[in-house]
Amino acid sequence: MSSFPTLRIQKCSAHLLGLVLIMLMVACPSIVQAQRVPNEIENIDYLITYGAQADLARGDDDHVQILFFSVPKSYKAPFYIRVYDPDTGGQHDELHGAANTSIRFSLLGGKSAYTNKDAQKVNPTGNYASGNPLASKVFGSESTYDANWYSFGPFNPLQGEDVPDMDAHVFKLVVEGLQGDDGNQYRCFLSELNTSNRAIEGANVFAYEYTFKLPKSRGVSHIYPFVDKSVISVTQYNFDYDRDGDILLYSVAKNRHPGAISNDKEWAKSKHAVADAEKNTTLDIQFQKAKEGENAVSFYITNQYDEAIPFFTIPIGGPPRYRYDLKVNIKSASGN
């Protein structure tokens, strides 16, 4: 689904994206220093991966989550990828009967960990777990890790895939629901430290698909895809949103365009043209949750070639603001 039509376009897009990202990260260093996934700015509390036997109506379309961690080449020290509440059971997780679910977390680096096309697909087919295995652990319902952190690492930044266009080494975390029917809710943090969270300056985390839990209360959650200058249209796909409010596209040139919303256990999609002003900027996909209660949803967004577009936990260049043309006229008397 995310394959590029030609190698030339793929290289061009990756190069452009990399250059723009480097420029924006240099220009906005203060906004790329927090690597909690999902991030506070997204207003998403937890990612969620269900066991392989869970009904799709729970909201997870494929029981696999793939995250990419980019570590800038300027960072040379060891680091850790920490996971909060990696077990399935106890607090924060979604249990259906007795806890019976096991989830595997696998860290991969080296050549093709990121650049393998299968890794960037929204469906886990082919060699999506490409690269060199660096660490792996299967979590069940161990109370040791309930509402607690588990640290993968230490890793040498050079163990990641060298991606020159991003000026970074990229690592991949693959989370797979092996068995069971429960939902494992978790967070990750890219940290300099083993026992606490200290962000790496200039690092970021991105994905091509999210399966996540919306906040229980009404409110707005955000996903921030970056649109490079080659994109002329985007198509947003959402699964099992349960018609729980609106999904709106917001940007410098779009003031909350309604997107199609899915019902229970179904996909919905809508296509939206990209204006010139939106190129090389971040979009804000807003989930305006209307009902109180639990809801998990899967989401991805593609360009005109049906290639998945990455979205970043820290929006590149900051969250977009719609550009109002406000005219303030000072008058000697009111017309009213």
Partner 1 sequence: MRRLLLLPFFALPWAVCAQEISCAAVSYFQQHPECGSEGRGAKCIQLDITHSLDKEGKPFVFAWNFGDGTTKEGPLTEYCYAQYGTYQITMDLIDPVTKQVIHNELTTQVTLLPPVDFAIDTLRETSAVFKYDPELLPGIAVEKVYWKVENGHYCGETMRHAFAKPGLHIIEIAAVGKTAEKMSFNGCTLRGVFIAPKP
331 binds partner 1 (CB under 8 A): yes
**Cβ pair 153, 191 in contact under 8 A:** no
Pick the binder of partner 1 from 73, 229, 256, 265 (CB under 8 A).
Answer: 256
**Can you tell me the distance from the alpha carbon of 229 to that of 275, in angstroms, rounded to the nearest whole number?**
10
Which residues between 177 and 236 bind partner 1 (CB under 8 A)? 218, 220
CB of residue 331 vs partner 1: minimum separation in angstroms? Answer: 4
Stretch touching partner 1 by CB under 8 A, among 3-11, 158-166, 225-233, 250-258: 250-258
Pick the binder of partner 1 from 146, 192, 246, 266 (CB under 8 A).
Answer: 246
- Round the CA-based radius of gyration of the chain to a whole number and report it: 20
327 binds partner 1 (CB under 8 A): yes
CB of residue 31 vs partner 1: minimum separation in angstroms? Answer: 18
**Residue 295 CB contacts under 8 Å (≥ 6 apart), including other chains:** 59, 213, 214, 241, 242, 244, 289
**Can you tell me the distance from the alpha carbon of 176 to that of 169, in angstroms, rounded to the nearest whole number?**
23
148 binds partner 1 (CB under 8 A): no
**Can you tell me the distance from the alpha carbon of 120 to that of 114, in angstroms, rounded to the nearest whole number?**
7
According to DSSP, the residues that pair with 173 across neighbouring strands are: 67, 107
CB of residue 277 vs partner 1: minimum separation in angstroms? Answer: 12
288 binds partner 1 (CB under 8 A): yes
**Residue 57 CB contacts under 8 Å (≥ 6 apart), including other chains:** 240, 264, 265
CB of residue 262 vs partner 1: minimum separation in angstroms? Answer: 18
Stretch touching partner 1 by CB under 8 A, among 4-12, 42-50, 153-161, 243-251: 243-251
7 binds partner 1 (CB under 8 A): no
The residue type at 289: K
Pick the binder of partner 1 from 64, 134, 203, 248 (CB under 8 A).
Answer: 248
**What phi and psi values does residue 113 have, to the nearest 5 degrees?**
-60, -40
Number of residues that bind partner 1 (CB under 8 A): 27
For the chain, give the number of residues.
336
Contacts with partner 1 by CB under 8 A lie at 218, 220, 245-246, 248, 254-258, 288, 290, 322-336
